[in-house]
Structure 1
Amino acid sequence: MQALPLGPLVLPWGPVLMLIGYAVAALVAWRERRHGRADAEPALYLLLLLGLLAARIGFVARHWRSYSGVPAMLDIRDLGFAPWPGAIVALLGGALWLWRRPALRRPLALSAASGLVIAGLIGAMISISQPLRTPLPEVTLRTLDGAPQPLAALRGTPLVLNLWATWCPPCVRELPLLVHAARHEHGVRIALIDQGQDAATVRAYLHAHRLDPPLVLLDGDGALLRAYHSPGLPTTLFIAPDGRLLSAHVGELSQATLAQALMRLRAASRPAPTARDGSALRAHASPSN
């Protein structure tokens, strides 16, 4: 499961783990304050904000061409964050704070370390309980014309499966982006797989919004949602040519987060160089005698 379902809400695990880590850190800071030590919570809050700001700026700087303007850059619903810039800025800010405020050294270091350890342990348990490299399930879907479409027949190229429905607001917001990518991204097949609706409903929606995706399939009983343990819609699955699930995105995609995911999918789908290839490269690079 790539997200935490809370009734009608679906929260990706990344923000949830961040909030858990901060809550643990704030609790430890509170206990330190009760023991007469300096209050580290204001510093924790500021470092969290600085880290998130740096992570967002780092992501936007890398994918700025994918954003239509400043409002899109400020819309963090796509969860576009670059972890390393955020971590570096937070660490540097924490080091500066500790250097200038010796009284904070114990409470700030202890509370921050506690939050990181707890969040890391929970994240590790989640990863162990839900291996990403799920094989492509043996299910047969339907085209809008009613023809059977075995999912296994889509293997062989990098594959993106977008699980959506016309009644899902974030699904329909990202739909034009996915249709455009399906028509213009080379070397990747993108399939839009409607969950639980009939062909007439889907066809009418696409016609009304002037969308003409290359591949639309129907999953009438939600077999893919169950197979991949998805907590809700939209869910976008990025699958290697051999059918292994490489990553999943629960929630709305932006052009930038889709571009990043496609780049990683292509990189992971490249065949590894064989020993013969390596020998040929070494022979080509070696000077002749």
Structure 2
Amino acid sequence: MNAVAIGPFAFSADRLSVIAGLIVFMIAGSLLAARVDNRLDRFTTVATLLGVAGARAGHVLAHAESFLQEPLRVLAIWQGGFSATGGFIGVFLAAVILWRNAPKAAPWALLPLAAGLFVWVVVTTLTDGGAAPRAPETSYAVLSSDETLAIAERKGRPAVLNLWASWCPPCRREMPMMAEMAGSNPDVDFLFANQGESRGVIAAYLSQTGVDLETILLDPFSDLSRHYGAIGLPATLFINPDGTLAATHLGEISRETIAERLAGLSSEGRKRTE
């Protein structure tokens, strides 16, 4: 799993690279503003705000039906969900505003843009974890039965592996939605691997919350977190039918992101069988 820990905070590699790029973009704009035109500082601020707003708006519009049912989730940006096209439109609008107000300063805006893109590429390259690990051969006990399950032996069907714990607030928040998504996608195996807790603690949590999960794996020593390099919880992994890792998500996840990833799994599965 491509992720980076900075002190007590854990970031997925893609988010860290975007954040680093935006910081450099704004710093470069501030430096140029002091030497060229102070409106360049305003441009980077406006471009950042419009870019983020546009990226979020693009994602929300693409999943309008889902967000209409829970409008407040539009503000839940920590779950992820951004459109590159929407972000580009937002930055483009900021550039148009700068060009209309300060046409002589507009060409200088290319420098902070180039600096931000350069840092984004560098951080993305440096945080690339290389080849993704395959599904482990280890068998894990299933909470609801005396059976064991090895993720590597589960072949022919895509899977969503959620690493969680009952003490983790974002895990608790996303769990009812995850259970709902599992019920509405019978062609996908949803596996919920508890990290580091006992049967009694897990059973008490499920009884208290009323969450109904079909397949809960017991991982008392957090082996799966180490295997996949998950440096925080929750972590959601999307696994192809052949056991290869297709995508990962660190932190609380939204139903729209799950739907997008599942569509990718289905497409990948069809390609591998053709």
TM-score strictly above 0.5: yes
2:237 equivalent in structure 1: 237
- Structure with larger Rg: 1
Deviation at 1:25, TM superposition (A): 2.2
1:17-166 aligned at under 5 Å gives the runs: 17-34=17-34, 36-39=35-38, 40-67=40-67, 68-98=69-99, 100-127=101-128, 130-131=129-130, 133-144=132-143, 145-166=145-166
5 Å-filtered alignment, 1:246-261, equals: 246-261=246-261
Q: How many Å apart are 1:271 and its aligned residue?
A: 3.0
Measured against aligned partners, the alpha-carbon deviations of 1:164-202 in whole angstroms (never above 9, x if no partner) come to 000100001111111112222131110111001111211
Task: Determine the C-alpha separation between the residues in 1 that align with 2:108 and 2:15.
Answer: 24
Q: Does the 8 Å CA contact 1:2/1:231 hold for their aligned counterparts?
A: no
What's the counterpart of residue 187 of structure 1? Answer: 187
Write out aligned runs for 1:264-283 (5 A): 264-272=264-272, 274=274
Q: Which moved more, 1:36-45 or 1:86-95?
A: 86-95
Distance 1:208 1:273, change over 3 A: closer
Q: Taking structure 1 as reference, are residues 137 and 272 closer, same or farther at Cα in structure 2, changes over 3 Å only?
A: closer
Distance 1:59 1:156 in 2: 31
CA contact (8 A) 1:165 1:197 kept: yes
Gaps of 5+ in 2: none
Distance change >3 Å, CA 137–CA 267, structure 1 → 2: same
CA distance in 1 between partners of 2:267 and 2:66 (Å): 19
The answer for the alignment partner of 1:283 in structure 2 is none
CA displacement at 1:95 relative to structure 2: 4.3
How far residue 253 of structure 1 moved from its aligned partner, in angstroms, is 1.2
> Alignment partner of 2:237: what SS?
strand
CA drift at 1:100: 4.2
Matching residue of 2:16: 16
Deviation larger for 156-165 or 97-106:
97-106
Give the Å deviation of 1:257.
1.8
The one-letter code of the counterpart of 2:190 is: I
Distance 1:23 1:77, change over 3 A: closer
Paired-residue identity, %: 30
Structure 1 residue matching 2:56: 3-state secondary structure: helix
Q: For structure 1, list consecutive stretches of 5 or more residues without a partner in the other structure.
A: 275-289
TM-score scaled by structure 2? 0.91
Residue aligned with 2:246, SS? strand
Q: Does 1:219 align with 2:195?
A: no
- SS of the residue 2:253 aligns to: coil
* Conserved? CA contact 1:2–1:249, under 8 Å: no
- C-alpha displacement at 1:102, in angstroms? 2.3
Q: Which moved more, 1:211-220 or 1:244-253?
A: 211-220
Q: Structure 1 213/120 Cα, relative in aligned 2: closer, same or farther at 3 Å? A: same
| 1:17 positional shift | 2.1
For residues 45 and 212 of structure 1, the distance between their equivalents in structure 2, rounded to whole angstroms, comes to 45
Is contact 1:132–1:245 with CA below 8 Å preserved after alignment? no
Any idea what SS the aligned residue of 1:243 has? coil
Give the secondary-structure state (helix, strand or coil) at the position aligned to 1:102.
coil
Which residue type is aligned with residue 38 of structure 1? D
Contact 2:195 2:221 in 1 (8 A): yes
CA contact (8 A) 1:58 1:82 kept: yes
